[in-house]
């Protein structure tokens, strides 16, 4: 899931980054749980089989999103994902974009009961009334947040000083001090469905932290953090 401003960087490596040796990669894969694809690249199991998830991992997940619309879309889809698989949301992404007017916060913030009824009848999205209402409310909160510099600057102000450097799947965190702080700050400003775990997932997906496993071909690809292999 990525907003329209997604940056794509060729083979996915940060400028100047070097691939590990075959021996080092083999050792990392054996110990970490990474899977080597038919293209010779190492990925986590969740991105190793389904072509849609693989493409998402290779080109979008963990790349920086710094615009309001892009982050509002990410915030909304992460909220809808709660309790569901990400693959389900990813397959419905274009339907979500159509249903929510391209995640234009001004437009969504003005939705009324007729729009809620329309969304509840739309089989292309997740028809959960609480999450639909949360997205509308979060759009209004996004508009209000412009008085404090805007959603993008606000969210990125919670970028931590260091990023995790997980070498195994077990070492990948699901929550952090930064995600807890971001969750609390957003709630104080009227956002809902923004729990610490959901905000941690948002931070991973938008490049604020790098939780690609050491040994993955995507480690360090965002340009925000060094590869740290």
Give residue-wise pLDDT tens across range 1-48: 333 333 333 333 333 344 555 565 555 566 778 999 999 999 999 999
8 burial type by CB count under 10 A (0-12 exposed, 13-18 middle, 19+ buried): exposed
- Please say whether the structural domain 68-206 has been given the CATH code 3.10.580.10: no
Residue 113 catalytic? no
- Longest Cα–Cα distance in the chain: 60
Residue 217 assigned to a binding site: no
| Catalytic residue from among 56, 57, 61, 156 | 56
Mean pLDDT of 62-88: 96
Q: Where are the domains of the chain?
A: 68-206
Give residue-wise pLDDT tens across range 205-222: 999 999 999 999 999 999
| Catalytic residue from among 60, 78, 111, 204 | 78
Mean pLDDT of 118-128: 98
DSSP letter, residue 43: E
Least confident of 24-33, 75-84, 103-112, 215-224: 24-33
Distance CA 65, CA 200 (A): 15
Residue 78 catalytic? yes
Residue 86 catalytic? yes
| Confidence at residue 23, expressed as pLDDT on a 0 to 100 scale | 60
SS3 sequence, 159-222? CCCCCCCCCCHHHCCCCCHHHHHHHHHHHHCCCCCCCHHHHHHHHHHCCCCCCCCCCCCCCCCC
Higher pLDDT, 101 or 228: 101
Distance CA 92, CA 65 (A): 20
């Amino acid at each position: 899931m990525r907003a329209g401003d997604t940056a794509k960087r060729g083979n996915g490596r940060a400028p100047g980054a070097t691939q590990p040796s075959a021996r080092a990669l083999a050792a990392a894969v054996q110990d970490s749980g990474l899977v080597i694809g038919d293209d010779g690249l190492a990925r986590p199991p969740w991105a190793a089989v389904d072509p849609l998830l693989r493409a998402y991992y290779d080109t979008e997940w963990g790349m920086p999103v710094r615009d309001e619309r892009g982050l509002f879309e990410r915030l909304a889809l992460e909220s809808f994902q709660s309790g569901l698989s990400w693959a389900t949301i990813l397959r419905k992404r274009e339907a979500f974009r159509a249903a929510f007017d391209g995640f234009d916060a001004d437009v969504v913030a003005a939705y009324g009961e007729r729009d809620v009824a329309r969304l509840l009848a739309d089989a292309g999205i997740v028809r959960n009334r609480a999450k639909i209402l949360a997205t509308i409310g979060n759009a209004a909160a996004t508009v209000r947040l412009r008085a404090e510099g805007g959603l993008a600057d606000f969210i990125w102000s919670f970028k931590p000083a260091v990023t995790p450097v997980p070498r195994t799947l077990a070492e990948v965190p699901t929550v952090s001090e930064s995600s807890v702080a971001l969750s609390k700050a957003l709630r104080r400003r009227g956002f809902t469905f923004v729990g610490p775990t959901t905000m941690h997932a948002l931070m991973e997906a938008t490049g604020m932290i790098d939780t690609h496993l050491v040994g993955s071909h995507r480690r360090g690809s965002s340009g925000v953090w060094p590869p740290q292999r």
